Structures are given as structure tokens and as C-alpha cells.
Amino acid sequence: MSLKEAALKVRANAYAPYSNFQVGAAIQARSGVIYAGCNVENVAYPEGTCAEAGAIAAMVAAGETELTEVYVVAGSPMPVTPCGGCRQKLAEFGKSDVRVTMATTGGVEQVMTLAELLPGAFTQDHMAEE
Ligand code: THU
């Protein structure tokens, strides 16, 4: 199954009764295995989680900590872009040149790297001793 197919498939399971905005994310890990996640909302709105966070959690739970490619899809008029928090989460596990494909269910795709999505990322280097 391709990243696109995995993202579209998991999107069908998104739990989004409050926004009615279903998102699917698939990430390829260093091993080649694909992990998928969907958004999971909550009546206490801030407790909801994004599709990207779900896919990352699945990857880490399976024992992997490096992602090499990302695909995110939603039924939006324009390709869905990861929120700020998810950009930081993706940057935790992916190198700056990792390709992130953002897509609509209608087939429009836009590709950006992690560095383009999160310029000036906060990294461990910022915490080095003075
Ligand atoms: N959402 C994601 O899951 N990923 C994104 O990249 C953008 C936004 C979710 C969060 C929330 O459940 C819904 O979309 C509306 O913001």
C-alpha cells in the first residue's frame, strides 16, 4: 500500500464530530514500514489530537523513531497543511529534507520539505550550554 492509499484509508476512521473535518496521515519510517493516524476529537475541544500526532504515536509505539516521508490528506478545497504543533512533532523525528505531501481528497497535491514547513525550528542545539 502506498503512503497515499494508507492516508486515505485511515482518514475514513477519523473521529471528527465537532469540526466535521476528517484528516488522514501516513508516515514512512526508516524501516520502510508505513504508520497511519487520523484526527481524534473530543467534546473538550483542546483534548483533540491531529492525524499526524496519531501516526507518529503509532510509529514510536512500534519501536521506530525516524520518519522519511509524510502524506496528509483531507477533504479540503486546498491541500491541508499540518498545524504548527504538528510541524514541530514531525521535525522531532524527521530530517529537514523529508518530503511532506499535503493533499485534498480531490487529488490536488502540494509537496514541501520539513525545513520549508518549519523554518527556524527549535532544536536541541538551542539548549546547548553557553
Ligand atoms: N487537523 C489534523 O488532524 N491535521 C492537520 O494537518 C490539520 C488539522 C485536524 C484537527 C481537528 O480535528 C480538525 O482537523 C480541524 O482543525
Query: Tell me, what CATH number does 22's domain have?
Result: 3.40.140.10
Residue type (1 letter), 5: E
**Which residues of the chain fall short of a pLDDT of 50?**
none
What is the 130 CA–ligand 1 centroid distance (Å)?
A: 38
- Residue 119 confidence (pLDDT): 95
Domain assignment present for 127: no
Domain assignment present for 113: yes
- Residue 130 confidence (pLDDT): 81
**Considering its fold, how many domains does the chain have in total?**
1
Cα–Cα distance for residue pair 96/111, rounded to 1 Å: 13
Give the CA dihedral 19, 88, 101, 117, nearest 10 degrees. 110
Domain assignment present for 129: no
Determine the atom of ligand 1 nearest the C-alpha atom of 54.
3
Residue-range definition of the domain harbouring residue 29: 3-122
Domain assignment present for 128: no
Per residue in 20-37, pLDDT (tens digit) is 999 999 999 999 999 999
> For residues 10 and 27, is the Cβ–Cβ distance under 8 A?
no
- Alpha carbon nearest to ligand 1 atom 13, residue: 21
pTM for the complete prediction?
0.96
Domain assignment present for 111: yes
Is 52 among the residues known to form the active site? yes
Domain assignment present for 112: yes
Output the ligand 1 site: residues, CB below 6 A. Answer: 16, 19, 21, 23, 39, 41, 48, 50-52, 72, 80, 82-83, 86
